[in-house]
């Protein structure tokens, strides 16, 4: 397959926040782009996009700005409407990922509903824990909403809007009715799944995926006396987090450790590809320690890909595939992975890149 370098050069316009941009390994990205025949243009959203060169692909991490715009922030609204105008004036530009698809994942209630409605999950031992949305602080009313929707204590209370600020990741474990007083609407409450403090994060690049393990919350049980526990996701679930909330209680320690079932992971990926269709996404899975069923508790737009082997290569392979209209249906060709390798790791069109020895020595998309 031609990699495009010998025909005309195409351009990828990229935008992300300064904070993300400072961490990005630009040198590696530019090198990988060049080897696939792409120019890289760093976009400035404060200047007209028309003046920044012709682009074929618009790659962005606009989640926080879209979330702020949807909540009425005037500056964010202006930026997003300019981007949308620009993209509608240039319909040939491939957007990674389309803003309307990104919007689905900004709202936890919305994406949990898609997961809950998925008919194929139940028979495969996959589920999303029961959940409900609170729009008021009326405890009696909220108890009724929970009962109607089968949500049981303990629950995790999460802000409905999943992006846009640090507070989107401020969580509360609530053990009983009186604890519900701390929930700040709009929020979702979700039944807690005991999972022995192990979180599995799955990172997707098109049809390719990588699974990582992270620390998570210890097991919790409903109780009339326990006060709510506040935590932020970063404190507990980062690779190097050492929260006391992750240390199992002695009576929980005998439980066997479970590893993810890859057939189940692939089923989840297929559903997300079909129902939401983002090229760059990730999701969180915890394994119910009594049933072994896999619970999808979170879906993310353009996650950090910190440990994803050869991220840039896989990303560009995938762009080439989508440019050739083959991204959803793998056609047996592969630009920079050997065909033998690809064939042996493709299972129903999905490829676990973690099984591959890293050939470029570059892991993730960041410097560190």
Binding site for Mg ion (CB under 5 A): 284, 298
Which range binds ligand ADP by CB under 6 A, 27-35, 192-200, 222-230, 257-265?
Answer: 192-200
Provide the 3-class DSSP secondary structure of residue 65.
Answer: helix
Q: Residue 89: how many CB atoms within 10 A of its CB? A: 10
179 binding partner (options Mg ion, ligand ADP, none; Cβ < 5 to 8 Å by kind): none
- Residue closer to ligand ADP, measured from CB, 77 or 219: 219
301 binding partner (options ligand ADP, Mg ion, none; Cβ < 5 to 8 Å by kind): none
Q: What's the token pair of residue 254?
A: 């005998």
User: At CB < 8 A and 24+ separation, what contacts does 162-168 make?
Assistant: 162/67, 162/105, 162/106, 162/107, 162/108, 162/298, 162/300, 163/63, 163/64, 163/66, 163/67, 163/106, 163/301, 164/63, 164/64, 164/67, 164/68, 164/71, 164/106, 165/64, 165/67, 166/232, 168/67
Q: What's the token pair of residue 10?
A: 């195409």
- Residue closer to ligand ADP, measured from CB, 260 or 349: 260
Q: What is the pattern of x (binds ligand ADP, CB under 6 A) and - over residues 201-220?
A: ---------------xx---
| 261 phi, psi to nearest 5 deg | -90, 120
CA distance 311 to 193: 31
Q: What is the pattern of x (binds ligand ADP, CB under 6 A) and - over residues 245-284?
A: ---------------------------------------x
CA distance 56 to 84: 15
169 binds ligand ADP (CB under 6 A): yes
Tallying the residues shown for the chain, one arrives at: 368
Which range binds ligand ADP by CB under 6 A, 53-61, 80-88, 233-241, 320-328?
Answer: 233-241
158 binds ligand ADP (CB under 6 A): yes
What is the smallest separation between the CB atom of 126 and ligand ADP, expressed in angstroms? 14
CA distance 364 to 368: 9
297 binds ligand ADP (CB under 6 A): yes
156 binding partner (options Mg ion, ligand ADP, none; Cβ < 5 to 8 Å by kind): ligand ADP
199 binds ligand ADP (CB under 6 A): yes
162 binding partner (options ligand ADP, Mg ion, none; Cβ < 5 to 8 Å by kind): ligand ADP
Q: Residue 280: how many CB atoms within 10 A of its CB? A: 21
129 binds ligand ADP (CB under 6 A): yes
- Residue closer to ligand ADP, measured from CB, 44 or 117: 117
CA distance 197 to 354: 22
Which range binds ligand ADP by CB under 6 A, 24-32, 230-238, 309-317, 326-334?
Answer: 230-238
Give the relative orientation of helices 311-323 and 26-35 as an angle to the nearest 10 degrees: 40
Q: Residue 208: how many CB atoms within 10 A of its CB? A: 26
What is the smallest separation between the CB atom of 96 and ligand ADP, expressed in angstroms? 21
Residues making contact with ligand ADP (CB under 6 A) = 129, 156, 158, 162, 169, 171, 190, 192-193, 195, 199, 216-217, 233, 236-237, 284, 286, 297-298
């Amino acid at each position: 397959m031609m990699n495009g370098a010998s025909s005309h050069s195409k351009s990828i316009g990229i935008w992300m926040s300064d904070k993300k941009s400072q961490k990005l390994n630009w040198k590696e990205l530019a090198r990988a782009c060049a080897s696939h025949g792409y120019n890289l243009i760093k976009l400035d959203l404060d200047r007209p996009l028309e003046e920044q060169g012709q682009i074929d692909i618009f790659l962005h991490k606009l989640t926080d700005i879209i979330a702020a715009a949807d909540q009425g922030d005037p500056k964010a609204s202006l930026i997003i409407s300019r981007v949308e105008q620009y993209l509608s004036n240039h319909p040939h530009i491939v957007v990674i990922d389309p803003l309307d698809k990104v919007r689905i994942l900004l709202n936890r209630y919305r994406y949990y509903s898609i997961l809950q409605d998925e008919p194929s999950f139940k028979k495969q031992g996959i589920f999303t824990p029961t959940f409900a949305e609170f729009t008021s602080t009326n405890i009696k009313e909220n108890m009724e909403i929970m009962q109607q929707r089968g949500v049981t204590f303990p629950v995790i209370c999460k802000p409905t809007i999943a992006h846009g600020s640090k507070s989107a990741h401020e969580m509360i474990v609530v053990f009983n009715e009186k604890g519900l007083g701390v929930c700040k609407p709009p929020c979702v409450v979700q039944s807690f799944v005991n999972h022995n403090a192990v979180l599995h994060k799955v990172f997707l690049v098109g049809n390719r995926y990588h699974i990582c393990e992270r620390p998570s919350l210890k097991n919790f049980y409903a109780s009339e006396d326990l006060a709510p526990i506040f935590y932020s996701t970063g404190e507990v679930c980062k690779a190097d987090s050492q929260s006391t909330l992750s240390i199992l209680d002695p009576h929980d320690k005998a439980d066997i450790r479970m590893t993810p079932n890859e057939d189940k992971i692939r089923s989840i990926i297929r559903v997300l590809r079909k129902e939401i269709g983002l090229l760059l996404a990730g999701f969180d899975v915890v394994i119910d320690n009594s049933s072994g069923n896999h619970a999808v508790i979170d879906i993310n737009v353009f996650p950090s890909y910190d440990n994803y082997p050869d991220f840039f290569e896989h990303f560009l392979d995938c762009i080439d595939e989508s440019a050739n209209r083959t991204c959803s249906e793998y056609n047996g060709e592969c630009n920079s992975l050997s065909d033998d390798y690809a064939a042996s790791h493709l299972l129903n069109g999905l490829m676990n890149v973690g099984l591959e020895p890293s050939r470029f020595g570059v892991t993730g998309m960041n410097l560190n």
